Amino acid sequence: MDSFSKPTFDPKEHQHLRYNPLRDSWVLVSAHRMKRPWKGQVEKPPEDNIPRHDPHNPLCPGSVRANGQVNPEYDSTFMFDNDFPALQPDAPDPGSDHHPLFQSKAARGVCKVMCFHPRSDITLPLMTPAEIRKVIDKWADLIVELGAEYTWVQIFENKGAMMGCSNPHPHCQVWASNFLPNEAALAERCQRDFLQKHGEPLLVQYARMEAQAQERVVVENEHWLVVVPYWATWPFQTLLLPRRHVLRLPDLTAQERDSLASIMKRLLTKYDNLFEVSFPYSMGWHGAPTGSHLQEDMSHWQLHAHYYPPLLRSATIRKFMVGYEMLANEQRDLTPEQAAEQLRKLGEEHYKMKKTEGDGGMEN
């Protein structure tokens, strides 16, 4: 290349913008920033000596919770009403204020906590596919139960102290509300607009194209596909998609639920193997709205799950969404293709299982 010619674009070397059609927003990709030395904050590695059972842990079988109730000696999943809920079903209406700068409206709902397993020292990737299947079935039941009344049922898991999880026991939360939250409303609008313009659900078309390209695929099976999305913001963010058009979790067949348990275990094992640590993340399911929307045509929706992990360079160096990201534009420090390649090449045997093989494996 002579001194007057323009350099050829290389996504690994040259910053560029990528469009996120699910949020109608843009992400700045600056992969060359990974070359800079890191002298910022270093996190403590996640705790790795969690006891199997702690009688003082309010999520363990037989423990006493903050409200004085005693948990049953459960041996599978366990569900209870959140003792400190952000939403309550009988909250009074704040009334209406007609000034455009000071608006409020009623917010009602319920919040539940769901334990995945009776043991505190186990996480989803270390559970058996059959145990994960029970979690999936319970998720689907909750969508049916709470969705009969509420507009939106948000299932989410915050894993690890880095993501604000206050208890190491494997669990998730379920918040059901009489309103469509901001992210759900945005996904609703974007998916509806895409179907109207292009004649096919956004994520149905996207999954097919990603399966054909393979460039950002992490794991896949007959019924499911996991990719680092083209528009990913978090370093090792992934999107879990069904291969057929599905609106909500309860719509999954028995075979699709078994396949989902399998692919979740494979993905989460790769996450843990990346830095050989219990990988922190926030994840959640997005499906078609419920409540009154159950009687509407919601064919523009496609069921999907988001995984948002913060780790960037190692088990102790995370991505911060501050400054420019908060005030101007989302930005990432490696390309989604680089992230997908790193995850894809990892083995699917959990690093803890390898370390314990000499001792006969993990105790059940």
- Most trustworthy range by pLDDT among 44-48, 333-337, 350-354: 333-337
Q: What is the DSSP string of 210-253?
A: HHHH-TTEEEE-SSEEEE--TT--STT-EEEEESS---SGGG--
Statement: residue 64 has pLDDT above 80: yes
**358 in any annotated domain:** no
Model confidence pLDDT, tens digit, residues 230-257:
999 999 999 999 999 999 999 999 999 9
**7 in any annotated domain:** no
CATH of the domain at 77: 3.30.428.10
The percent of residues above 90 in pLDDT, for the chain, comes to 74
Whole-number pLDDT of residue 360 = 52
Statement: residue 362 has pLDDT above 80: no
> Mean pLDDT throughout 327-347?
95
**38 in any annotated domain:** no
Whole-number pLDDT of residue 47 = 66
**282 in any annotated domain:** yes
> Mean pLDDT throughout 335-342?
96
**22 in any annotated domain:** no
> Mean pLDDT throughout 339-346?
96
Nearest of 84, 117, 125 to residue 348 by alpha carbon: 125
Please tell me the pTM assigned to this model. Answer: 0.92
**125 in any annotated domain:** yes
Nearest of 198, 268, 273 to residue 238 by alpha carbon: 268
Whole-number pLDDT of residue 97 = 75
Task: Give the separation between CA 364 and CA 349, rounded to whole angstroms.
Answer: 17
**Binding site as annotated, residues:** 33-36, 66, 82-83, 158, 164-166, 173, 319-320, 324-325, 331
Residue 205: partners with Cβ closer than 8 Å, 6 or more residues away: 198
**Binding site as annotated, residues for UDP-alpha-D-glucose:** 33-36, 66, 82-83, 158, 164-166, 173, 319-320, 324-325, 331
Model confidence pLDDT, tens digit, residues 14-55:
899 999 999 999 999 998 775 555 445 555 666 678 889 999
Residues forming beta bridges with residue 158, ordered by sequence position: 282
Model confidence pLDDT, tens digit, residues 299-315:
999 999 999 998 887 77
Nearest of 13, 26, 21 to residue 325 by alpha carbon: 26
Question: How many structural domains does the chain have?
Answer: 1
**364 in any annotated domain:** no
Model confidence pLDDT, tens digit, residues 178-234:
999 999 999 999 999 999 999 999 999 999 999 999 999 999 999 999 999 999 999
Domain that holds residue 85: 63-92+104-346
Active site residues: 171
Tally helices (H) and strands (E) across the chain: 7, 14
Model confidence pLDDT, tens digit, residues 104-131:
999 999 999 999 999 999 999 999 999 9
**114 in any annotated domain:** yes
